Amino acid sequence: MLTIDNLKALGANTDEGLARCLGREDFYLRMVGMALADNGFEKLREAVELGNLEEGFERAHALKGVLANVSLTTLAAPIAEITEDLRARRDIDYTEILDRIDTELQKYRGLV
């Protein structure tokens, strides 16, 4: 169930997120739902695994913005991390970070 308390339990900064949405809970939760439903996470993994770091950076950067907007802090943190690596086009093994992202994402998606 996607609720404020559940999100908070997962480590989301719901106060901040709610404030951004002017305290409108339903709107906020709708936005969170939309963010979690975004297929950008999949596209990110796909691009990185194919070695398309350019594409991967674009995807990560967009996700970072969205997640920050809805303040899913714990998910936004690894996304921000990969964004910087991808911005620098670092030729590293992205498996670990992608898995971390996935783990966090699944926790949130489990609420929906």
Cα–Cα dist 33/70, whole Å: 10
Q: Which of 69, 77, 102, 109 binds another protein (CB under 8 A)?
A: 69
Q: What does each C-alpha distance from 107 to 1, 54, 79 come to in angstroms? A: 12, 28, 15
* Residue 97, token pair as written in the block: 């970070």
Q: Which of 58, 81, 102, 109 binds another protein (CB under 8 A)?
A: 58
* Residue 91, token pair as written in the block: 């030729």
- Told to check if 22 binds another protein by CB under 8 A, we report yes
Cα–Cα dist 82/96, whole Å: 10
CB of 43 to another protein, least distance (A): 13
Q: How many CB atoms lie within 10 A of CB 82?
A: 24
Q: Which of 53, 70, 97, 101 binds another protein (CB under 8 A)?
A: 70
Applying CB under 8 A, which part among 43-51, 57-65, 90-98, 101-109 lies near another protein?
57-65
Nearer to another protein, 7 or 68 (CB): 68
- Told to check if 19 binds another protein by CB under 8 A, we report yes
